[in-house]
């Protein structure tokens, strides 16, 4: 989302709760906030030329309903191990007459390109409302898995001089 905003794209954020919606609108000048309820997705489908899904597996079907007929929806990773058996299929793309594309984000070239973009555009990560200490790593992962987080889940690491043979 931050990358799209950095290049001047109009960004709509969908969310499942009003609490998240209230926190998203001022978030880096979002253009629109929409509920995943049918009325919000109807509006999105009228204006969305392309749709990028970076979220939980359970949000993929929302993306396919939100895209304008005949356009592109890109799935950039899945952030959870979904227990939802109703993941979208090729049939969903056929019904929407859209193109679905999966994106590989972790090649060395892409990471280098991303890092250069971050530096040039001065993109800053948005940290969640809680930063975990190293001892609380298990709680951090549980929070991530249960989708109770907002923005980045961060774990504070204290550097110990001499660790791993590095001064």
Domain membership flag for residue 86: yes
Domain membership flag for residue 136: no
How far from each other are the two terminal CA atoms of the chain, in whole angstroms?
37
Hey, is 151 helix, strand or coil? Answer: coil
At CA 20, angle to CA 18 and CA 23, rounded to 5? Answer: 110
In the chain, the number of structural domains is: 1
Report pLDDT digits (tens) over 96-155.
788 877 776 677 788 888 889 989 999 888 888 889 998 999 999 898 888 777 788 888
Range of the domain at 10: 2-105
Domain membership flag for residue 166: no
Q: Checking phi first, is residue 80 left (phi over 0); if not, alpha (psi -120 to 50) or beta? A: beta
Domain membership flag for residue 128: no
Provide mean pLDDT across the span 12-41. 58
Report pLDDT digits (tens) over 64-90.
777 777 777 777 766 555 555 566 777
Q: Checking phi first, is residue 148 left (phi over 0); if not, alpha (psi -120 to 50) or beta? A: alpha
- Which CATH number do you get for residue 78? 3.40.50.720
Domain membership flag for residue 92: yes
Domain membership flag for residue 73: yes
At CA 8, angle to CA 7 and CA 10, rounded to 5? Answer: 125
Q: For the range 35-43, what are the long-range contacts, defined as Cβ-Cβ under 8 Å and sequence gap of 24 or more?
A: 36/62, 40/14, 41/14, 41/65, 41/66
Domain membership flag for residue 48: yes
Assess whether pLDDT exceeds 90 at residue 4.
Answer: no
Rounded Cα–Cα distance for residues 112 and 106 (Å): 10
Domain membership flag for residue 123: no
Q: Per-residue confidence at 16, pLDDT binned at 50, 70, 90? A: low
């Amino acid at each position: 989302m931050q990358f799209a905003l950095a290049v001047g794209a109009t960004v709509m954020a969908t969310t499942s709760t009003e609490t998240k919606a209230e926190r998203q609108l001022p978030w880096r000048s979002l253009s629109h906030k929409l509920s995943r309820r049918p009325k919000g997705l109807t509006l999105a489908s009228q204006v969305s030329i392309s749709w990028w899904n970076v979220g939980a597996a359970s949000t993929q079907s929302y993306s396919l309903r939100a895209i304008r007929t005949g356009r592109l929806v890109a799935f950039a990773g899945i952030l959870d191990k979904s227990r939802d058996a109703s993941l979208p299929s090729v049939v969903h793309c056929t019904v929407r007459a859209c193109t679905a594309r999966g994106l590989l984000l972790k090649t060395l070239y892409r990471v280098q390109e991303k890092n250069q973009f971050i530096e040039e555009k001065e993109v800053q990560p948005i940290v969640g409302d809680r930063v975990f200490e190293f001892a609380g790593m298990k709680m951090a992962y549980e929070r991530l898995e249960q989708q109770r987080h907002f923005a980045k889940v961060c774990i504070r690491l204290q550097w110990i001089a001499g660790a791993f043979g590095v001064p």
